Chains A and B, each alone.
Chain A
Amino acid sequence: MDLVPALARWVHFLAGVMWIGLLYYFNFVQVPALKAATADNTAAGITKHVAPRALLYFRWSAVVTWLAGATLLGANFVNAFTLRPGWVGIGIGAWLGTIMIFNVWAIIWPNQQKILGMKPASDEEKAKARRTAFLTSRMNTALSIPMLFFMAGGLTHRAAFGL
């Protein structure tokens, strides 16, 4: 049925904008803002009220994005992930997106729970968690650049890059 991939594409874009938008918010806005807020003792407003909400939408929009993307690939899911001819471009994009969602759920979220006090952690563990979550979030920001390049591929990419 044509309706399913059409709706999946729409949802993939909607959730993807939220996911990557929040990723960019964390990296371009919240991290520098927290640095400044810590200096004048106002960081609690961000860590208590903003960060948990942003993280909630961040991690679940990642799930919706991935599931909608998988639905959109449909019967070509394996072709994409095994980089079969004709599926190399979107396949690389799909792999990058999958690495990114793994980073969100397996590394960023567990470490953020320690940082925000949702899980017990010593000061030393929190400092380590902060560094790990920061670098993984930055890695995802870097990965989003080729991921969006390959995901957004179409006739223009075919003409310019042969992909």
Chain B
Amino acid sequence: MKNPLDSLWGTIITGLVLTVILVLAAKSLMG
């Protein structure tokens, strides 16, 4: 599988996905 960080779009999408995951994690942490 190709590393998503090899392309700029892959990097941006990785960042956006990580943002969604962290927002959900933060909300669950806050109860």
Q: Which residues of A contact B12 (CB under 8 A)?
A: 141-142, 145
Determine the distance from Cα of A92 to Cα of B30 in the docked complex, in whole angstroms: 12
Please pick, from B11, B23, B29, the residue contacting A27 in the complex, using a CB distance under 8 A: B11
Interface contact A138-B27, CB-CB below 8 Å: no
The contact string, 1 if C-beta is below 8 Å from chain B, for chain A 98-119, is: 0000000000000000000000
Count B-side interface residues using an 8 Å CB cutoff: 18
The answer to whether the Cβ of A150 comes within 8 Å of any Cβ in the partner chain is: yes
Q: Which residues of B contact A150 (CB under 8 A)?
A: 22, 26
The answer to whether the Cβ of A146 comes within 8 Å of any Cβ in the partner chain is: yes
B interface residues (Cβ-Cβ under 8 A, vs A):
3, 5-6, 8, 11-12, 14-16, 18-19, 22-23, 25-27, 29-30
